[in-house]
Amino acid sequence: MTIKKFIGDKAFYKMAMTVAVPIMIQNFITNFVSMLDNLMVGRLGTEQMSGVSIVNQLIFIFGLAVFGALSGAGIFTAQFYGKKDQEGIRHTIRYKAIITLLLFVVATVIFLVFDDQLIGMFLHESDSNGDIELTLSYAKAYLRIMMWGAIPFCVTQVFSSTLRETGETVAPMIAGVVAVATNCCFNALLIFGLLGFPALGVEGAAIATTISRFVECGIVIAYVLVKRSKFPYFKGLFKSLHIPRKTFKDITFKGMPLLFNEFFWSLGMSLLSVAYSLHGIDVVAGYSISSTVMNLANIAFISLGSSIGIIIGKQLGANEFEKAYDTDRKLIAFSVAISFFIGFGVFFAGDKIPLLYNVTPEAKELAAYFIRVCACFIPVHAFANASYFTIRSGGKTLITFLMDSVFIMCVSVPVAFGLYYVADIPIWYSFPIVQAIDIIKVIIGMILVKKKVWLNNIVSS
């Protein structure tokens, strides 16, 4: 096999970047502002930052559950789009609306009734380096306000995901840019009390985020209404909630593994945070800093993964199987190649950003260490992410469920807790061990992609 099979021509990369760049820009701005938010809250102190970080772990689970639910229907949206079936797309949007509403209701009940217990998982009395009760109070105040932004978040995701899956990536990007700019401005005003606004601290950060959610939702809805002639599948969308039984069954059968996958994967990531938090509040703060930085660093391969789902899904829907395989191989190689360069840069800059935070010296040192360790594994995560989206694009959602969430819950999480409770290994050694486990996922993904188990048209009938 020659290296030319992994390299596309100029037209290929132009096509790929046309889809990926708007997603990258939106994700970059979102995560950059998230880093600024994290930095602003970090200026308040270790307890404030730890409280916000804990709640964001919980919100993260809800957000990825929504993403997973929409992704299941999104596989069908992309292939219906390739098939030019407008009514089929309508059915997927209705499905998305119903499932996100159910998730919102369930999440609201759980977060508001069990807030003490959920937040308490990250706080440990044995930790002498922080005020546990103060951290809990900040977290609860932040969570109550953040839940108000869950409704516009769900509505935005239903429409934005559909636009992306049908090739319209610019409008969601613009809405996201305006939203994060709004969030950033109100953060500065409401956290620190600038220009006559009240200094609300942690609560100000939550209010700013909630305002930005409504702004983003308003822009997306306005765009859909103004440009509805451009998108025929939005016409008569909610005149009925009818979804054909076969379509509903197919989406549920293929999509539920994705919902559970995202839920259990995000739960697994949060449980990893719990395992790391056993080492103290300084670790919670340091891990929060490193996670924010790495979210920014991982944008390229995450966006390219989303692009793989869109591009390959459309080709599979059009029965272009050989083209899809060739395209996928080149996109995966492109994603991994970019990740090597990004990882190199992050490694050498990783010790600078923690210096900007008003946290303990121990938290800063840990953050720098976490960043550098994660930088070494960016190419590993890039390949695993690309292979995940490849397999998912062909409807093999049960495989992705096993490969992703089952793996983290049954392998990564037990190892992380075992390294603390059984082996009593310090965080300096346990953290890179847990990161290295993902190499197993790379091997599994490589085998499955090469075997072409994902080359399927799931909307052919």
Residue 460 belongs to a domain: no
- With contact defined as beta carbons under 8 Å apart, do 395 and 254 qualify? yes
What pLDDT is stored for residue 68 in this prediction? 80
Whole-angstrom CA distances from 372 to 200, 292, 302, 341, 363 are 34, 13, 19, 14, 14
Whole-angstrom CA distances from 303 to 154, 189, 264, 389, 433 are 20, 31, 21, 11, 26
Whole-angstrom CA distances from 48 to 111, 315, 399, 421, 444 are 19, 48, 40, 28, 40
Residue reference for tokens 């105040």:
141
Residue 76 belongs to a domain: yes
Cα(359)–Cα(286) distance, rounded to whole angstroms? 9
Residue 22 belongs to a domain: yes
Number of domains observed in the structure of the chain:
1
- With contact defined as beta carbons under 8 Å apart, do 29 and 176 qualify? yes
Residue 26: CB atoms within 10 A of its CB come to: 24
What pLDDT is stored for residue 207 in this prediction? 94
Q: Which residues form the domain of 293? A: 3-450
Residue 324 belongs to a domain: yes
- With contact defined as beta carbons under 8 Å apart, do 162 and 92 qualify? yes
Tell me which amino acid residue 438 is.
D
Q: List CB contacts of 132: < 8 A, sequence separation 6 or more.
A: 123, 124, 125
Residue 293 belongs to a domain: yes
pTM of the model: 0.70
233 phi/psi in degrees, rounded to 5: -70, -10
Q: Extract long-range pairs of 194-197: CB within 8 Å, 24+ residues apart.
A: none
Name the residue among 438, 395, 413 with its Cα closest to residue 266: 413
Residue 458 belongs to a domain: no
Mean pLDDT, consecutive 10-residue stretches, the chain (461 aa), reads: 74 83 74 70 78 82 83 81 80 89 92 87 61 84 90 91 83 86 90 89 90 93 86 79 83 77 81 86 84 85 83 81 86 90 90 81 90 94 90 80 87 94 91 94 90 76 51
Please list, residue by residue across 265-281, b when 16 or more beta carbons sit within 10 angstroms of its beta carbon and e when fewer do: bbbbbbbbbbbbbbbbb
Helix axes 439-450, 378-393, angle to 10 degrees: 40
How does DSSP assign 16-55, residue by residue? HHHHHHHHHHHHHHHHHHHHHHHHHHHTT-HHHHHHHHHH
What pLDDT is stored for residue 270 in this prediction? 83
Residue 352 belongs to a domain: yes
Residue 363 belongs to a domain: yes
- The token duo for 339 is 């990740």
What pLDDT is stored for residue 460 in this prediction? 60
What pLDDT is stored for residue 268 in this prediction? 87
Q: Is the dihedral of CA 175, 88, 255, 15 positive or negative?
A: negative
